[in-house]
Structure 1
């Protein structure tokens, strides 16, 4: 099932790329955003370590005449303390990005599918506010508010994460 979800996501990205060859010349882009944290604690001579790595891979079509964008996002969130737990989500994304080389952006994503460990059939949303910096490969800094809902398991999560990212303009 996971393979089918990933292939479906790749198909969506490919169709956006193929159907908008003119758009690539006008500013479509892909974005890779990363977050990593590590925590080590010691109590009564026992040491524990936890890590978390999150990456978002997205592709967007930028509409002519402004900063409106539409695309798709794939996310993987791996947390490990005593055991490793993956959250894999993907969905449709859109919002506004400054048409200038540097400036703010606001993006929203609806996750049509999310799986967290044994919890499947979830959905959710993510809101990103960020800033892009003009360099040879544009850098981004963003904060993401995320909410995931796994209603058949009566479980939900809400997270706020800082990200560092790269943009590849087409």
Structure 2
């Protein structure tokens, strides 16, 4: 089964370095927030561990870039998924900051969907939420991690990377 990132990566012309890792040349900002480009070295090489990581980085750039961007991958995305691009552009330009929207979606998926389904399936397992995390006792942690990843995949078709913390 392919998730969104593995599907979209097939649309991009991916270049590989000598070690076989995907990379792309990106703008090298000395101040990214103010969009000030480093004049001594305007481009830099960004290397990724996998094609999926490459695609994920490109998609995040698409979601946060101007709809008038000339980046080739953004043009490909716009041509391949015009409706999605138009909706994302509208949201960015007319509604709310994208990072705010995405954090609300993430919280909804994790807290309103995953936590609810987990607690219904395992009513005797202690479960708490702290900010954007789910917490349980140490002996149930592997089960919670597995269920979070499975349920988020069921909801989004995205393979998520979860991190366990022990306190």
TM-score (norm 1): 0.21
The higher radius of gyration belongs to: 2
Structure whose residues are more often helix by fraction: 2
Higher relative contact order (CA 8 A, sep 6+): 1
TM-score (norm 2): 0.21
